[in-house]
């Protein structure tokens, strides 16, 4: 079995400088520094508020009675309302603005990449950035949804239809998986950030990468070592502050 390789901030900065098509794949770990706990972690909303994810995020249950989902959503939107993107969120948005990073593929539903300024975000599990009426398909932006959630137990469109955020429920297909696989396959550097790669089908995406892969995550990662894969067990913001400083000096 190949030896697991690591890389320091200078090595990562050098890879970014040499690359033309960087893609980031992000998981819950990129947002924990912003104050958003992993749903299933010891301080996650599933645990602290005793939500049953199988009921809250089951599409059949939502269609029968959307109220439990919106109870969870009020808590979740309360957490993220004043939450600011982390340094790493902004680092990725800056790389995109400079034409270096082509896309962010995220497993998160918190919309912090968009708040940081990233434009080409592929949210494979969906997010709260947009919502749609289940009857007439009218689209609602994030601020509209926030307001309606505060005002009604179950937000409804003017046509009478129930509004559902564009997040992926159990029983629904993930979003844009083919597009995510395509941008990963076309990348010459994939940054896997804050993901243990334990949730499929997103976890299979690094296998599509033909270039180098740098994984930065606290704890174990479900990706076997091989040539061109580098693993860093470190705090994301600390690591990428060093990378940013080195890129600025280059």
Taking only the tens place, the pLDDT of each residue in 2-36 is 788 999 999 999 999 999 999 999 998 999 888 77
Does 15 lie in the same domain as 135?
no
CATH assignment at residue 227? 3.40.50.1220
Domain-ending residue, one of 148, 167, 186: 167
Tell me: do 136 and 235 sit in the same domain: no
Domain count, the chain: 2
CA distance 207 to 51: 33
Q: Are residues 21 and 134 in the same domain?
A: no
Is the four-CA dihedral 31, 35, 36, 41 of positive or negative sign? positive
Residues 134, 186, single domain; the answer is no
> Are residue 64 and residue 6 in the same domain, yes or no?
no
pLDDT score for 50 = 58
195 close to 25: Cβ distance less than 8 angstroms? yes
Residues 144 and 229 in one domain: no
Render pLDDT for 30-56 as a digit per residue (tens, 0 to 9): 998 887 765 544 445 444 455 666 678
Q: What are phi and psi of 157, to 5 degrees?
A: -75, 165
Q: In angstroms, rounded to a whole number, what is the distance separating the alpha carbons of residues 205 and 5?
A: 20
Q: Are residues 29 and 139 in the same domain?
A: no
Residues 214 and 250 in one domain: yes
Residues 13 and 63 in one domain: no
DSSP count for the chain of H helices, then E strands? 11, 9
How much is the pTM?
Answer: 0.87
The verdict on whether 81 is a catalytic residue reads no
Residues 229 and 180 in one domain: yes
Residues 157 and 188 in one domain: no
- Residue 73 sits in a domain whose CATH number is 3.30.1600.10
Q: Which of 3, 89, 113, 125 is catalytic?
A: 125
Q: What is the mean pLDDT of each run of 10 residues along the chain (250 residues)?
A: 88 97 95 72 48 77 92 82 91 97 94 94 91 97 91 95 94 92 97 91 92 94 93 97 94
Q: In terms of domains, do 13 and 113 share one?
A: yes
Enclosing domain of residue 1: 1-36+85-125+174-250
The vertex-161 CA angle with 155 and 164, nearest 5°, equals: 55
């Amino acid at each position: 079995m190949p030896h697991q390789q690591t890389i320091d901030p200078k090595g990562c900065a050098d890879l970014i400088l040499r690359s033309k098509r960087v893609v980031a794949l992000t998981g819950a770990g990129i947002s924990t520094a912003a104050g958003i706990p992993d749903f299933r972690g010891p301080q996650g909303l599933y645990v602290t508020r005793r939500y049953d994810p199988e009921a809250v995020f089951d599409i059949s249950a939502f269609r029968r009675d959307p109220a439990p989902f919106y109870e969870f959503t009020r808590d979740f939107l309360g957490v993220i309302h004043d939450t600011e993107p982390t340094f790493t969120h902004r680092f990725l948005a800056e790389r995109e603005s400079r034409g270096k990073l082509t896309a962010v593929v995220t497993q998160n539903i918190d919309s912090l990449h968009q708040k940081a300024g990233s434009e080409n975000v592929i949210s494979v599990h969906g997010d709260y950035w947009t919502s749609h009426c289940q009857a007439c398909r009218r689209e609602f932006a994030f601020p509209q949804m926030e307001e309606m959630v505060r005002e009604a137990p179950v937000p409804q469109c003017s046509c009478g239809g129930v509004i559902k955020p564009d997040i992926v429920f159990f029983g629904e297909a993930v979003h844009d998986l083919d597009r995510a696989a395509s941008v990963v396959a076309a990348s010459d550097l994939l940054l896997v950030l804050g993901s243990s790669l334990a949730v499929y089908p997103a976890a299979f995406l690094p296998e599509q990468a033909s270039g180098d892969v740098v994984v930065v995550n606290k704890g174990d990662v479900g990706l076997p070592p091989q040539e061109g894969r580098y693993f860093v067990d470190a705090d994301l913001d600390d690591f990428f502050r060093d990378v940013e400083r080195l890129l600025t000096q280059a």
